[in-house]
Structure 1
């Protein structure tokens, strides 16, 4: 990515020492990546201080948080690399320097490191309870002039914050760098010859002239702008993002920074592939593959049939609100199939990303569920032009207007449109052939997905992981596309409370629609009981107030018993789609008594057999679940030096997830369960245990016997890696190393903003 070289800053402290000059990319960024990026990345970086690159350091810090659920006005966007291109421009946007010296004092970053050094933590002890570690804490974000008062008031708030600090060598290196003037240099990721060839081919395709081409390429941009794109045969660690640039191929990229990707670019532009710079962090690293085969697939999908464009659509609010109208000239079959081909990517965009913190959206979903997709050949929106014409005007989504006073009228208008659509869909599908196995898409291993939610974050995996969940989703094209546009393309993390509320309320309707689609697969006489289970207590009020009527009558062609229909459906699903299920799961769905993956070393077989005892048991029986956070990672060391990592995910139970506020009032903690699965299934570890494979049975037994906080404390003291553990960073960074070994394309630095003080 072409970047202007950043000139060394003025001296920040003492005169330069007679020492070998330190290079930022070689000597400094690796330390920041190892010890700082775990907190300081994405929009949830404290004080917006992003330490993943030189550009982030130069931007500095801001007192203005990105996450503000009550602001009445949208705030200016402050996206690194896009919204300002110089230090002066960032200062105009309210950022203050962390590198400049003031009145003979060291820079802010140097003093923050000194403060952290002055207050070492007690080794592997629980931190003081009055030290606020929550992600909702009020970060002070002092300017250089305010630092003395800050240090006096918050003596334990130096950096790294509330965690084992830098080694002596790391600390000395950073302080030497400061004394040398804190010189910066951009990371210059240069595409390989093979990557340059493929970039040229894709840019030529994406900028081809013609009305059809312009419309297709706009749709593709709006669906790939968030991706970290990588090339088949490309260099490891090389990723690219699709941007609109004022400059054509062959020239340095000059990105156009609109608030949303479907807003007017304001003049001529070109689609370009821009190298992703800075440290790769797992929470924003949502990957998508490009290759010659993929390019041919895109041509096949979008240009094989004969269709025309009468006039190119504009970029107004109505065009943003209803992409079904905006892109109606493109065959719907092509649009849906493109999304199905890489369904995991698209579900990740609105479940895992793009904003790094999203309880306003995630509290509308269960903590664990599976997602299936309707086969295109049975999706009426694709195959019935008359139905599509009636449905399209009803598929518009809210969020384009954010006047506080219009919140309720806007919500009611779009809710009513959605419910009119649901009534139309109900009647049309009642006249269509009853659903059967052929109605479920089974085109590749993206057809079966598992979703796990941990409070304000969530993750997506191919395959069916965990015990049979309380709910399943069945997405058709109108639901899939609306979820993507509502939560990704049209969502503005810098928006005000009205915009965010409209987004959350409409996503509630999308979830409800996906659940009802699945319910229609089951026998009519069983549906009400499942519905009552999903919408308990206040959920019944929401059913009456906001949701369309449920189809309790239309027949199904699935041969299922009236009692236990969902379980019978899942059993058959696992048998029929066994070759598509990317994640067989004997730990959580043990059928034979051998509750472990096949082909493991004996010590790991025994470990997994023991871990399986933690699954399928509600917290009412396994009391330790109440003590565990929502995403715990278990590091298991083997005798030969290798290690395996397991995710212990606490699935919180709710009476319903139908309301935006008061989630804690709907918790059913005695029904919480654990999913145990090999691998790192969350970008945000809440805690970590480390033990040998031979200790796993003892660890499991200790959890089974830990019926209160005091007993659980003994487990933590013996095997837990607390924030104050002297080797905390070795263990924490080993999780990223494990990802690089097991899932190299998906690997990135994990986030520790939610690492708990157990």
Structure 2
């Protein structure tokens, strides 16, 4: 028997060796004409691929928002790595390398379009993954939003191994496959060599458009004037605008970025690739230039800033025409000094700097919220899910009235970023900068108590003057992303902030100008922990307006369940100065903000309470309307179902679905209604780096409904016909976590694997662009968690 078994074994091995590979090269239909990248390929990539493959969080660093990103290819190195012990070299597209060859040779990127097959066959990574999705369009396993190294095969051998283990992970990952026409276009283009735009076509896309050129040139002249006053002004503007998508007030929808270049106009831009905006550009002369943005716009990074004639006039009047505190002189680029704006820009009056931040408060705060630091749950659990921000009026900001307050506290106002991107291991959890911030907080409190012996009143809050001023802002956290909006959206939040100049500037330099996504875990941990201290300072500034006897109680209510160690780091001491406000109610937190919004803000700002979500004291939630014919009917319905702690809110929150977009299809001839549903989770505190779950209180979770698009990362899309509105809102109001209610809910939802997903997504995207033609960009689908019926629904017969 042994010889027979041996022979059978050999035969089986031989048959296995001759068996075809599970994922052979893909056969591609021959095209008799050249496929055009710009007209045919790029629109497909934009609609179906860029929605996940853009920015730093693109899986495998594969950025498909520009041909240069596709040509660069993929990498096994993740940008966001919470365990990285040593900083890595940055890999910023258009900045850190000049060609695909350099990306491949110096940075380890590899092609996703190259094929080792020949003839009509192709085994490139891109086409193989697209074909795998067509073979198996539905995911058999659980959708995982965080991709690991297995999703980055560098060649066909690794790809075969990957798809053998995960055959349902073709692209688009977790979504329906491309249509036959889309797939054919891409596969034929790849087979033809994946050629991009021609040199003339590319040059045309990089040139400024004619309506912009006059203002662009005027700004470049201003920014490059050689005298010390203009040079330091330009440096300040650059450090605050380097993330901006700049427009010059023309309606063409063309945007630019402000860069430092080795070349002056009219020569092509040669960018100086410093890691941070305040890093030394080198000894050679450099020039501030505007480089046209050619990548597809994605909303999460599309932060618009307008440089029109009005802005230029304001900058000249405030920075240039205002006398400075010292004879203007050029500042060097020492590492620590450059990271501290209170040192670098001490000669520019703080009132000028703060005025610039206030004039552009919405943009500046947006860089905190949508900049590269704000990705991931650990980075964002330093803030509450919903809070309002206001600003101290310059006339009452003592750092402006007494410049020595900043000079004497330069060290205490330093931020962790001054140590660079590589914190040594023994300082991963250093308290140095937290202790400095606490020392400044004490000094500030003592000084304010000394000067404002009668306390601060409503006059001390900046109220804005122009229509585009944003004296009040709403911040929403959407679990692992966030958004900022002008005005006071939602119901009265748990916490409110008041930001003064020193706090405004420190948050910017800690979270934006100085933060390095490529830095090590020590750098990122210290910035995260330092932000805890700055958050407390902003909240404390608001509490200082409250009656003396409620200040400590309010802080404790906002920061429950702290241990002694954390309490020490979050140090709070009620201000010794009294309140200048005589409160009429026993709810001063509410009374203050209601009086401010109702009676103090100028009408020009257009800010008022949210009629849909804000409830005055004692105001009850209404019942559902009898019919759904008008906008007011829907407002009543929303107000009926947003009561905190309902089962629907708890259930959706548990699925990490904090943000949904809803479309109500109206009768023909009427415009469909669209709104966002934002779930705000209640945190007893946000002071701990880990174990956020233990700080949640689902009974206080709340929903907000906004007749607009909120955020950049929808977790869920829902659709209903207008005649289904009664059933929809009845389901929300009476929701229970049962199979029947889950079935009713999923009737309206568009899951990731729904064949209609792309049709639904395209509608929401198109509507967003119509509503916000300047600020819109592609939504990101990396956080679209809504896959299938939960809790064993299939087994329950749903």
TM-score class normalised by the smaller sequence = over 0.9
Unaligned runs of 5+ in 1: 1-11, 122-126
Moved more, 712-721 or 405-414: 405-414
Name the counterpart of 1:421.
440
Name the counterpart of 1:5.
none
Name the counterpart of 1:7.
none
Name the counterpart of 1:113.
130
Q: Does the 8 A contact of 1:588 with 1:616 survive in 2?
A: no
Q: Distance in 1 between matches of 2:608 and 2:192?
A: 52
Q: Does the 8 A contact of 2:229 with 2:328 survive in 1?
A: no
Name the counterpart of 1:141.
152
Structure 1 residues 530 and 561, CA gap change in structure 2 (3 angstroms): farther
1:572-611 mapped onto 2 (5 Å cutoff): 572-576=595-599, 577=601, 579=603, 580-582=605-607, 584-590=609-615, 602-611=629-638
1:412 Cα deviation from its structure 2 partner: 2.3
1:157 aligns with 2:135: no
Aligned with residue 35 of structure 1, among 48, 51, 54: 48
Structure 1 residues 671 and 14, CA gap change in structure 2 (3 angstroms): closer
Structure 1 residues 73 and 409, CA gap change in structure 2 (3 angstroms): closer
1:593 Cα deviation from its structure 2 partner: 9.1
1:636-715 mapped onto 2 (5 Å cutoff): 636-639=664-667, 640-715=669-744
Q: Distance in 1 between matches of 2:443 and 2:165?
A: 61
SS state of the match for residue 417, structure 2? coil
1:239 aligns with 2:255: yes
Moved more, 622-631 or 482-491: 622-631
Q: Distance in 2 between matches of 1:43 and 1:349?
A: 15
SS state of the match for residue 128, structure 2? helix
Aligned with residue 464 of structure 2, among 433, 438, 443: 443
Moved more, 357-366 or 447-456: 357-366
Q: Does the 8 A contact of 2:278 with 2:339 survive in 1?
A: no
Moved more, 185-194 or 463-472: 185-194
Name the counterpart of 1:225.
242
Aligned with residue 112 of structure 2, among 82, 93, 98: 98
Q: Distance in 1 between matches of 2:576 and 2:755?
A: 62
SS state of the match for residue 522, structure 1? coil
1:379 aligns with 2:397: yes
Aligned with residue 257 of structure 1, among 273, 277, 280: 273
Aligned with residue 94 of structure 2, among 81, 94, 102: 81
Structure 1 residues 270 and 370, CA gap change in structure 2 (3 angstroms): same
Q: Distance in 1 between matches of 2:154 and 2:148?
A: 18
Name the counterpart of 1:275.
292
Q: Does the 8 A contact of 2:246 with 2:255 survive in 1?
A: yes
Highest relative contact order (Cα 8 Å, sep 6+), 1 or 2?
1
SS state of the match for residue 475, structure 2? strand
1:466 Cα deviation from its structure 2 partner: 0.4
Name the counterpart of 2:662.
634
Name the counterpart of 1:564.
587
Q: Does the 8 A contact of 1:539 with 1:658 survive in 2?
A: no
Q: Does the 8 A contact of 2:75 with 2:109 survive in 1?
A: yes
Moved more, 739-748 or 184-193: 184-193
1:58 Cα deviation from its structure 2 partner: 0.2
1:333 aligns with 2:351: yes
1:542 aligns with 2:566: yes
SS state of the match for residue 533, structure 2? helix
Structure 1 residues 346 and 15, CA gap change in structure 2 (3 angstroms): closer
Q: Distance in 2 between matches of 1:108 and 1:135?
A: 20
SS state of the match for residue 630, structure 2? helix
Q: Distance in 2 between matches of 1:410 and 1:625?
A: 35
Q: Does the 8 A contact of 2:497 with 2:538 survive in 1?
A: yes
Name the counterpart of 2:410.
392
1:393-412 mapped onto 2 (5 Å cutoff): 393-401=411-419, 403-405=422-424, 407-408=426-427, 411-412=430-431
**Deviation by residue 1:381-404 (Cα, 9 ceiling, x = unmatched):** 001133233233320111333555
Aligned with residue 227 of structure 2, among 185, 210, 234: 210
TM, length-normalised to structure 1: 0.93
**Deviation by residue 1:194-253 (Cα, 9 ceiling, x = unmatched):** 2011110000000001111111111110000000011112412x1100000111011111
Q: Distance in 2 between matches of 1:541 and 1:638?
A: 56
Moved more, 625-634 or 524-533: 625-634
Across the aligned residues of Structure 1 and Structure 2, the Cα RMSD in angstroms comes to 2.3
1:539 Cα deviation from its structure 2 partner: 5.7
Q: Distance in 2 between matches of 1:172 and 1:221?
A: 45
Name the counterpart of 2:537.
513
Unaligned runs of 5+ in 2: 1-24, 789-798
1:621 Cα deviation from its structure 2 partner: 8.9
Name the counterpart of 1:527.
551
Moved more, 504-513 or 101-110: 101-110
Q: Does the 8 A contact of 1:231 with 1:291 survive in 2?
A: yes
Q: Distance in 1 between matches of 2:318 and 2:376?
A: 34
Structure 1 residues 341 and 421, CA gap change in structure 2 (3 angstroms): same
Structure 1 residues 136 and 539, CA gap change in structure 2 (3 angstroms): farther
1:683 Cα deviation from its structure 2 partner: 0.2
Aligned with residue 210 of structure 2, among 193, 196, 208: 193
TM, length-normalised to structure 2: 0.88
**Deviation by residue 1:495-548 (Cα, 9 ceiling, x = unmatched):** 0000001110111111000000000011011112211111101266522x2133
Q: Distance in 2 between matches of 1:70 and 1:594?
A: 46
Q: Distance in 1 between matches of 2:584 and 2:408?
A: 35
1:583 Cα deviation from its structure 2 partner: 5.9
Q: Does the 8 A contact of 1:240 with 1:274 survive in 2?
A: yes
Name the counterpart of 1:284.
301
SS state of the match for residue 305, structure 1? coil
**Deviation by residue 1:536-574 (Cα, 9 ceiling, x = unmatched):** 01266522x213341253201122247211111122122
1:728 aligns with 2:746: no
1:176 aligns with 2:203: no
Q: Does the 8 A contact of 1:281 with 1:750 survive in 2?
A: yes
1:248 aligns with 2:271: no
Q: Distance in 1 between matches of 2:257 and 2:449?
A: 43
Q: Distance in 1 between matches of 2:443 and 2:303?
A: 35
- Give the number of equivalent residue pairs: 736
Q: Distance in 2 between matches of 1:85 and 1:575?
A: 55
SS state of the match for residue 483, structure 1? helix
Structure 1 residues 614 and 18, CA gap change in structure 2 (3 angstroms): closer
1:652 Cα deviation from its structure 2 partner: 0.9
Q: Does the 8 A contact of 1:603 with 1:694 survive in 2?
A: no
Name the counterpart of 2:477.
453
Moved more, 612-621 or 175-184: 612-621
Q: Does the 8 A contact of 1:587 with 1:612 survive in 2?
A: yes
SS state of the match for residue 408, structure 2? helix
Q: Does the 8 A contact of 1:380 with 1:388 survive in 2?
A: no
1:602 Cα deviation from its structure 2 partner: 3.7
1:48-59 mapped onto 2 (5 Å cutoff): 48-59=61-72
Structure 1 residues 86 and 222, CA gap change in structure 2 (3 angstroms): same
Q: Does the 8 A contact of 2:646 with 2:699 survive in 1?
A: yes
1:410 Cα deviation from its structure 2 partner: 7.9
Q: Does the 8 A contact of 1:17 with 1:180 survive in 2?
A: no
